[in-house]
Amino acid sequence: MSHHAIRRPVVVVADWREDNPDLNEGTDDLDLYTRDELDEILEALGVVCQNISVYPSPREFIAQISHHQGALVLPFWAGRISRNRTALVSAIAEASGLDFFGADTYAYIVAQDKALAKHLAREFGLRTPASILIRNLDQLDLIELVAAPVVVKPNLQGSSIGISQRSLCADSAQARALVMELLARFAQPVLVERFVEGREVTVTIWGRPDAIDLFQTVEIYEPAGQIDFTKTIWSYELKKSTHRPGKAQRAVSLDSSDELALRRLFTGMGKLELVRVDGRLTPDGFQFIEMNPEPYLGRIGSVAKAFALQGCDYQEMFGRLLLPFDVLPQGEAPVRQKRVVERQ
């Protein structure tokens, strides 16, 4: 398959982590790509982009930013701890007058806040599980307002940081103990959410506020039948651990009213461009859990699967994502030049 040749210089700001066999729900770098995963993404970008620079941190990007006027910035940097971390690179790019791929700072902040994202989803007509936000120990009695079983998780984290199989609590006593633990560990509000039985699905949406180019729903399941994803949660053990089970993905359809509500959410967010919405598909329809405007772009992820279901291979996915930003004329690509800051 031929690939789009992106002539515009591209700057990737991305951190990474080493493979760690001792991951747990408290590991604070679960949302970083591994070195191999990032290399895979850079290799795919290298097929469609002629000039790529890579910086491992916003600080190093800022030090060289004057050399990249006119470039397109890809904010793949996740950082650690800070509740603002996912929005930093897009904010730097916008403040510097540089175009950047993906969500703007507002969209990142809204999506990072699980409780706020649910509120916004409901405004656009989506169903969400009943939930309560616990900000401090004085509010522990509010847990009783949500019928068990419940899922307990940090409100401002992503990629299953702070979410393990322990997060699915059978009663309020379990939930109370875990809320206390997470408040102490993460120093941020904790979301207590009604557990919803249903098929684990992700919805990939790509486009612009005036035109959605891709809308694809994918179910994640365990093909051997040893784990029933409808009765458990998509925790770090199933996503990241060394002994995680195999997973498979297949296309599924949503009710037209749920698809329309998701499309309205996407267009209503403004500059978003690519988002993965996670939810549960129940007999009553789609239940919104959370959304991620910086979704995992590895080859085995649900975004790549969504593009593959539309007949788009892995390298072509990046070409399609970046082509709207390529302001230079298209044509035969000259010999590709790469200017890469060496990763330590």
Q: How do residues 191-204 score in pLDDT, each as one tens digit? A: 999 999 999 999 99
pLDDT for 327: 65
Q: What are the two backbone dihedrals, phi and then psi, of residue 298, each rounded to the nearest 5 degrees? A: -65, 165
DSSP class per residue in 221-248: E-TTSSS-GGGS---HHHHT-TTPPP-E
Enumerate residues 6+ apart whose C-beta is below 8 A from 138: none
On whether the CB atoms of residues 158 and 291 are closer than 8 A, the answer is: no
Question: Per-residue pLDDT averaged across 252-263, rounded?
Answer: 98
Q: Please tell me the pTM assigned to this model.
A: 0.90
Pairing of strands 33-34, 16-17: parallel
* pLDDT tens digits along 77-88: 988 777 888 899
- CA–CA separation, 119 vs 71, rounded Å? 35
Torsion of CA 291, 176, 149, 287, to 10 degrees: -20
Q: pLDDT tens digits for 114-165?
A: 999 999 999 999 999 999 999 999 999 999 999 999 999 999 987 678 788 8
pLDDT tens column, 276-332: 999 999 999 999 999 999 999 999 999 999 999 999 999 999 999 999 998 643 333
CB 203 within 8 A of CB 212: no
Beta-bridge partners for 268: none
Mean pLDDT estimate for the chain: 89
pLDDT at 268 > cutoff 90? yes
Q: How many CB atoms lie within 10 A of CB 231?
A: 11
Pairing relation of β-strands 190-194 and 168-169?
unpaired
